[in-house]
Amino acid sequence: MEKSTITLTRKIQLLIDVPSDQKNEMWEKLYRYQNRCFRAANLIASHLYVQEMIKDFFYLTEEIQYKLADEKKDHMGMFNRSKTGTTARMVFDHFKGEIPTDILGSLNNTIQSTFSKNKADYWQGTKSLRNFKKDIPIPLPVKCISKMRYDEETKAFCFNMFAIPIKTFLGKDYTDKRVIMERLLKEEIKLCTSQIQLKDRKIFWLAVFEFEKEEYFLKPEIIAEASLSLEHPIVAKANNARIDIGSKEEFLYRRLAIQAGQKRIQESIAYARSGKGAKRKHKALYKTDKLESRYVSNRLHLYSRKLIDFCIKQQAGTLVLKNQDDKIGIAKEREFVLRNWSYYELQTKIKYKAEKAGIELIIG
């Protein structure tokens, strides 16, 4: 049976909402949690790998029977608790009192799930065991969030996270983040286990929300066909209607102009007035940092939204992306196209918007 819900992730900046003299203490707490997550993740992955490969490591004979299960539930089991509980108890004991067990439990479940999906590749030697880095996101279970509300004075959504007072920073917010947070307070949507990312002394909440799929009067027998090309980002047809979404001049040439501007800035850095070291010389370059990626992301969101709106207007319950494998292959052969045309990213954005609208997507 098809699920009636869909999960979407939104990246929201958070600010620590305490007096200045207490902020260092809160930052120290968050960085301690991140460090323990980093260490715990690598320990869990290592233990899981050893459990799965124990027969090869110790060169056990065929007569020795063992199973990675609880001995109380399976007479061949070699564990004194469940398989999931082995790594969970290990990190609980290892980091007792240093980090909430809810965080470790969520981290353990995530790594166990990812490991199970990839273990066949580990056995065949086609993939190496994942190595977690120090900037690992901190899991944020729902039970670690409390007192969520909207503060009229600060015009921000406030809540406690790991007993740390937090408020959101949405800025001008040209997206749907504010609407989603308002719906969350009204309990119209559900918050799932999320993550906290610490980067450049900033806090980002990778919030995961569960939505009911939008209901439209779509007909599965009506098929919309779309193709991605260099002349027009998307060309779509349904019934007797056709739409060209975007153009080369709008997307590609603007992107090349941004690249050329950044190249000119890089070349002129050597002649910039010094006085305060590299920061002073690179000031102009910092202003254009990620300008291209932000522009591309914005355009692709717009293009994919227009495509889905076209399908809804035509009542098309099925969307076919034609000849995508051939086009991606051509793009890989041509460095210019691969560098400047985001086939895969556009395809990904179309996929999740189609799923949200209840449209079946077929990639040909």
What SS3 string covers 187-212?
CCCEECCEEEEEECCEEEEEEEEEEE
Confidence grade of residue 1 (pLDDT, cut at 50, 70, 90): very low
pTM: predicted TM-score of the whole model, two decimal places: 0.75
What is residue 1's DSSP assignment?
-
- Ranges of beta strands (E only) in the chain are 5-16, 67-70, 77-79, 138-140, 145-151, 156-161, 164-169, 190-191, 194-199, 202-212, 219-227, 234-238, 241-245, 316-321, 360-363
**Pick from 202, 208, 207, 209: which is nearest to 14 by CA?**
202
Dmax (CA) of the chain: 76
Structure confidence by residue, pLDDT tens digits, 186-202 = 998 999 999 999 998 89
Neighbours of 161 (CB within 10 A): 22
Q: Give the pLDDT band of residue 66 (cuts 50, 70, 90).
A: low
Place of tokens 């990626």: 293
Q: How far apart are CA 71 and CA 154, in angstroms?
A: 56
CB 328 within 8 A of CB 344: yes
| Rounded Cα–Cα distance for residues 50 and 92 (Å) | 19
Average confidence score pLDDT of the chain:
82
Give yes or no for residue 2 having a pLDDT over 90: no
Give 150-166 pLDDT, tens digit per residue: 999 888 999 999 999 99
Residue 207 burial (CB count, 10 A):
23
Strand residues in 18-125 grouped as ranges (E): 67-70, 77-79
pLDDT of amino acid 67: 57
Cα Rg of the chain, angstroms = 25
| CA atoms of 348 and 232, how far apart (whole Å) | 18
The residue type found at 167 is K
Per-residue pLDDT, 55? 63
Query: Could you give the CA distance from residue 161 to residue 131 in angstroms, rounded to a whole number?
Result: 27
Sign of the alpha-carbon torsion through 146, 149, 151, 156: positive
Q: Are 208 and 53 in contact (CB under 8 A)?
A: no
pLDDT in tens, 201-243: 899 999 999 988 777 788 888 999 988 776 777 889 998 899 9
What digits encode the pLDDT tens for the residues 167-178? 999 887 767 889
Average pLDDT over residues 244-257: 80
316-321 and 360-363 as β-strands: parallel, antiparallel, unpaired?
A: parallel
pLDDT tens for 326-340 read: 555 555 555 444 455
DSSP string covering 100-111, please?
A: -HHHHHHHHHHH
Domains of the chain, CATH where assigned: 1-208 (no CATH), 219-363 (3.30.420)
Of 19-33, 110-124, 255-269, the least confident: 255-269
Place of tokens 């353990």: 108
> Looking at residue 214, what DSSP letter applies?
P
Closest by CA to 350, choosing from 319, 313, 323, is 319
Q: And the tokens for 174? A: 């040209």
- For residues 321, 322, 325, 329, the Cα torsion angle rounded to the nearest 10 degrees is -110
Q: What angle do CA 217, 246, 289 make, to 5 degrees?
A: 115
**So what's the pLDDT on residue 338?**
44
Phi-psi region of 243 (alpha: psi -120 to 50; beta: other; left: phi over 0): beta
* Alpha helices for 277-342 (secondary structure H): 277-281, 283-287, 291-313, 324-333, 335-340
- Dihedral angle at the C-alpha atoms of 15, 21, 24, 27, nearest 10 degrees? -30
* Angle of helix 324-333 versus helix 343-357 axis, rounded to 10: 160
Q: Is 37 a residue whose pLDDT tops 80?
A: yes
